[in-house]
Structure 1
Amino acid sequence: MANRIPVVDMHCDVLSKIQMNSELQFLNGPGLDVTHQRLEEGNVILQTFAIYLSEKLGTLRFEHIMKQIEIYNQLGLKLVQSKEDAAYLRKSFDNLRGGQWGLLSLEGVDGLEGNLFYLELCYLLGVRFVGITWNHANWAADGILEARNGGFTNKGRTLIHRCNEIGMLMDVSHLSEAGFWELADASSQPFIASHSNARSICPHPRNLTNDQIRAIVALDGRMGMTFVPWFVKEKGTVKISDLLKHIERVCELGGEKHLMFGSDFDGIYEWIHGLEHPGQYPELVNSLVKHYPESVVRGFMYDNILSFMEENLKTIGR
């Protein structure tokens, strides 16, 4: 059945929410968009858990990153770390035999405190994607809402090089436009935008321009459609049909095999109507199969990103 197509979601903020409120329960507790039960209901086979450090924590430290990794380890999901894991998922989940997996990403390098040894330690602990900034400037680069639109600092350029060396993949969601183009020139690895939409459909600065989308396609990167309502539509009730306009635009720009999803569940306080939590992913799948062949929808939902991981994640120990 089409609505049982497996799903990979490349961004949620569960860990940050639990860090700020330890009473929240991942199994099936109130207060979270993403729970174990809802992942099962939505047939989400792989959920990426972002390590986002709230400004409410004060000065952001590496110990805050370590706390969220500890929280993840208590969730009880298997962790994707290598290309072999990605290959297993591609083969097994098509027959719905795999169980639930997680993946760790770092959203903004502020908590690394400019120490690249901490980057390597994150890698050893299972983090496989790193977003350079949140919305503002940090020690590595400018974020998308930094008015000067600067690129990378000297230390940030060293970060790019070290990520390439150890196999830490990079994420340009939240990065300034100048930083995006600098990374496109400097990185020896393709990168992703884990949770960004098309700016030509909705002119929010967090969305990507047509030229940026074409660049991700040319570099064989991936772009995650996000469910943040104000990234989908400027005003009014936001429906799944509004999200489909962004999907079609990415496809028009050559991104059919580069498109994925990064919901930003638990990082938002408003939701797309009918897509309020991962248990409702089948509603999105049902809408997509009305407009695209099932093979294409399978690419959107899981195969495009798993093939990217299978190609670009390093094998542990090599």
Structure 2
Amino acid sequence: MTIGELVNKSGARMRVFDMGRRLEEVTEPVFAAFEQLAAPWPSPYLKHAWVGILSWNPTEPGQHNIWFLKLPLDEQNILQPGPRDAFVAHCLRVAAAPEQKHGDAPCSYRPDQGRMAFFHAQALMALGQPATQFYATARAYLSGDIGWDNWQQLGLQGLAEVVARLGDEHNSQLLANAMPFLPAVPRNALLNFLENVRPDQGLTSAINDALSAVVANGASVADLSAFARALSNSVNDGQRSLLLQALLAHPLASEVELLAAIGSRCWRDLDGVVLKAYLERLSGNLQGEGAFNALVADLLTLPGMRIRVMNLLASGGLSDQLNQAVARLFSLVRTGQGNLQ
């Protein structure tokens, strides 16, 4: 029995969300094909499918279940069914004997605060429920009504709900207007949430302008990583490519935090000169060979990335530093001390 069949058998409905590289909904047909081992997980992260599943029964208003699961994948990003089957068996045992203690469900995990807040924001919308009281407070702050320095009273939940409801109440324009005035802490929290949506051109331009101002005043690696994540799914492909080239030319581009953000969130734009710049920076990262090997291996699990990377490596014109890093990685693979999956 699959998770989808388990939910359907109970008479419930469900929504599935990818919780890995960004939080986005996965359609039921895609999830069903994945569970039936007929298709790979579309966006693997660290050799797993990280999913959030919201289920509810239309005949029981106000009642719903939430599961956060980390499902292991094989080398082709196909589900390894054993752990999933163990999770389904656990659920059946709980349903048969709800009064007993059954321990934690197999494959379960707890997302970080930001992921949890955005999932909750998406769940409210899926269930047709109103926003929390934090939403109004966040909108008041982003309007400038309570002072830009008075952000300590804000919660992540309110900011997450504004971003999740970007198309409501002119929220996209609200964020664009607020961007030049935001202190680093609330700004970076918003930028991290924006990776989960598709900022329009107006908001994208405001984010780009804010990035230019931050860089001029001395950006931190956390700042640059947040901007990379925010623009990773924006509407303008050409603008994203130029942004990545600028970030990879920045003095902080050898920091692993920034390189990991680019590799895990902006991978669709890593091609040609941008991919070369990324791998060159990665080969000289400040944490050394282990970080290079881990980030390259993760990149190669993504659809289409293996051929892009291999074509680039075969094209020549790479630095000695990058050639040596690649040679060491392949040496580890040949001796069985590492892998590229």
TM-score, normalised with respect to structure 2: 0.36
TM-score, normalised with respect to structure 1: 0.38
More helix per residue: 2
Structure with bigger gyration radius = 2
